[in-house]
């Protein structure tokens, strides 16, 4: 093993231990019962998240090694998510029915795979396998955010409204007036560039023409969204896309997800807390973000406008370090909070970039197969690991989803 290869393997081994350890740390305060529950079809039990991310390494890395012995071959069916080319899978809405294997068995499974993979990293590993291990770590970091969003939803269904964590910062004391900052126009380039990791859907880098526009200097706040509600925003059909209005009527939406009836408090990972009027509004669907933008006389930015502005900024903000906090308002000049606090809905449908090619084999199912009926979000949230986000990162969800940490930033034509 060359010195350069040894250094790469050593750094990846340390990163593997750190990322995998973070997943366990995020569940440290949860009971086995907490880790079992599935509160809606779109969510997954915490136990399943821990097992599925382990399955990924067993399936796509260790499974290529003739000397590796799977922990339990029956679990391949239980913990596959959507990789049809790998084999059949347990139905997603029924993951909460998997009381067996127990949480202790899943943790033993993780340890088994961790030991085998760390042993693998002591040998001479092809670059393609190293890349798959890094993909698996990025995949696990996505599931760390999903785990937090899923457990928040599960705890919100409990009449006692228990908190995931009670360790939070004080409310914001800073309020910054909303202004609009001109963005670049004309021919710009977007898409991942450089040697660092990126998902396949972030490239290739390509040219995009931008018309004159401006982005709001900060996300929309709780107080501003409350004004939309008080002004009858949820009762005015002309503000809504047709499918959005149908969703509002069908689901009887009257406020953001987790907001309480008093419109002054919300259920959070830290229990029911007073709404910070200056903090970014959170847990909005695309439909709600779009309706608010219309009400405000503005629009949502395109993902090209967002990325063109964000790629000049350092990746910094209220992101996941050791434990999630609440969205906060921050002072300063220029574009604020482009990273962290809340994912920001864009007006861009999730589709491929010119020249896009999915990864070969089963890993090609990772992103490309979802390029239909989804909208793009940018910037990360309070639950996004700090070393996981970048300006080219493309998150995507259906337009009616709102249990994730989703908010908005306004844009204007100039």
Q: Which of 122, 141, 156 is the last residue of a domain?
A: 156
Cα–Cα distances (Å) from 200 to 22, 85, 197, 368, in that order, read 25, 18, 10, 8
Write 111-116 long-range contacts (CB < 8 A, 24+).
112/71, 113/54, 113/57, 113/58, 113/62, 113/71, 114/16, 114/17, 114/20, 116/62, 116/68
pLDDT at 2: 63
Q: Do 310 and 214 share a domain, yes or no? A: yes
Shared domain for 77 and 184, answered yes or no, is: no
74: in domain:
yes
Strands (E), 20-151: none
209, 135: one domain: no
CATH number, domain containing residue 399: 3.90.1580.10
Of 123, 141, 156, the last residue of a domain is 156
CA distance 328 to 281: 10
Pairing of strands 343-349, 406-407: parallel
Per-residue pLDDT at 6? 73
Are residues 109 and 228 both part of a single domain? no
Residues 88 and 134 in one domain: yes
pLDDT in tens, 325-371: 899 998 999 999 999 999 999 999 999 999 999 988 889 888 889 99
Confidence of residue 148 (pLDDT cuts 50, 70, 90): very high
What is the arithmetic mean of pLDDT over 48-57?
A: 98
My answer on whether 187 and 143 are in the same domain is: no
106 DSSP β-pair partners: none
Indicate the DSSP class of residue 385: B
User: Residue 174 domain-assigned?
Assistant: no
Asked if residue 16 is part of any domain, the answer here is yes
Strand 213-216 to 180-182 pairing? antiparallel
Q: What confidence tier does 9 reach under pLDDT thresholds 50, 70, 90?
A: confident
**Would you say residue 172 lies in a domain?**
no
Query: Of the candidates 140, 156, 172, which is a domain's last residue?
Result: 156
Whether residue 187 is found in the same domain as residue 51 = no
Length of the chain: 414
Q: Are residues 234 and 289 in the same domain?
A: yes
What is the per-residue pLDDT across 202-249, written as a single tens digit (0 to 9) for each?
999 999 999 999 999 999 999 999 999 999 999 999 999 999 999 999
Token digits of residue 273: 């807390």
Q: Is 407 helix (H, G, I), strand (E, B) or coil?
A: strand
Mean pLDDT of the chain: 95
The tens digit of pLDDT for each residue in 80-130 reads 999 999 999 999 999 999 999 999 999 999 999 999 999 999 988 898 999
- Report yes or no on 347 lying in a domain: yes
Residue 187 DSSP SS3: strand
User: 114 is in which domain, residue-wise?
Assistant: 3-156
> Contact, 391 vs 330, CB < 8 A?
no
Residue 163: pLDDT band (50, 70, 90) is very high
Is residue 173 domain-resident?
no
Identify whether residues 45 and 137 lie together within a single domain: yes
Q: Is residue 367 part of a domain?
A: yes
Q: State pLDDT tens for residues 247-301.
A: 999 999 999 999 999 999 999 999 999 999 999 999 999 999 999 999 999 999 9
DSSP β-bridge partners for residue 81 = none
Cα 405 to its chain centre, rounded Å, is 8
The answer to whether residue 95 is domain-embedded is yes
Question: CA–CA separation, 227 vs 206, rounded Å?
Answer: 40
200 in the same domain as 90? no
**274 & 407 share domain:** yes
Question: How many independent structural domains does the chain possess?
Answer: 2
186 with 126, same domain?
no
């Amino acid at each position: 093993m060359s010195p350069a290869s040894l250094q790469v393997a050593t750094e990846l081994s340390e990163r593997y231990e750190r990322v995998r350890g973070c997943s366990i740390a995020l569940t440290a305060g949860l009971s086995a019962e907490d880790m079992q529950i599935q509160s809606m079809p779109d969510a997954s039990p915490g136990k399943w998240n821990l097992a599925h991310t382990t399955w990924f390494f067993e399936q796509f890395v260790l499974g290529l090694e003739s000397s590796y012995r799977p922990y339990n071959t029956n679990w391949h069916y239980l913990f596959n998510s959507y990789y049809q080319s790998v084999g059949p899978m347990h139905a997603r809405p029924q993951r909460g029915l998997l009381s067996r294997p127990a949480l202790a068995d899943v943790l033993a499974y993780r340890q088994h795979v961790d030991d085998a993979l760390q042993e693998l990293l002591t040998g001479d590993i092809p670059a393609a396998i190293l890349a798959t291990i890094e993909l698996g770590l990025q995949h696990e970091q996505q599931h760390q955010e999903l785990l937090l969003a899923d457990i928040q939803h599960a705890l919100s269904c409990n009449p006692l409204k228990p908190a995931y964590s009670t360790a939070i910062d004080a409310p914001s004391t800073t309020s910054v007036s909303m202004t609009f900052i001109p963005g670049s126009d004309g021919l710009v380039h977007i898409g991942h560039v450089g040697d660092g990791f990126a998902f396949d859907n972030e490239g290739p880098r390509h040219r995009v023409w931008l018309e004159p526009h401006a982005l709001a200097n900060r996300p929309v706040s709780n107080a501003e969204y409350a004004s939309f509600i008080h002004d009858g925003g949820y009762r005015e059909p002309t503000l809504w896309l047709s499918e959005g209005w149908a969703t509002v009527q069908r689901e009887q939406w009257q406020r953001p997800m987790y907001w309480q009836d008093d419109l002054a408090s919300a259920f959070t990972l830290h229990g029911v807390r007073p709404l910070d009027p200056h903090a970014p509004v959170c847990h909005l669907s695309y439909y709600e973000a779009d309706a608010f933008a219309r009400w405000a006389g503005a629009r949502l930015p395109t993902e090209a406008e967002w990325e063109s502005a964000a790629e000049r900024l350092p990746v910094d903000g209220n992101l996941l370090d050791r434990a999630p906090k609440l969205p906060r308002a921050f002072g300063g000049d220029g574009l604020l909070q482009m990273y962290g606090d809340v994912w920001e809905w864009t007006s861009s449908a999730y589709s491929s970039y010119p020249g896009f090619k999915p990864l070969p084999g089963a890993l090609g199912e990772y992103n490309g197969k979802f390029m239909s009926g989804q909208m793009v979000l940018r910037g990360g949230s309070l639950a996004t690991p700090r070393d996981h986000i970048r300006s080219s990162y493309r998150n995507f969800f259906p337009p009616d989803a709102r249990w994730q940490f989703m908010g908005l930033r306004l844009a204007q034509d100039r």
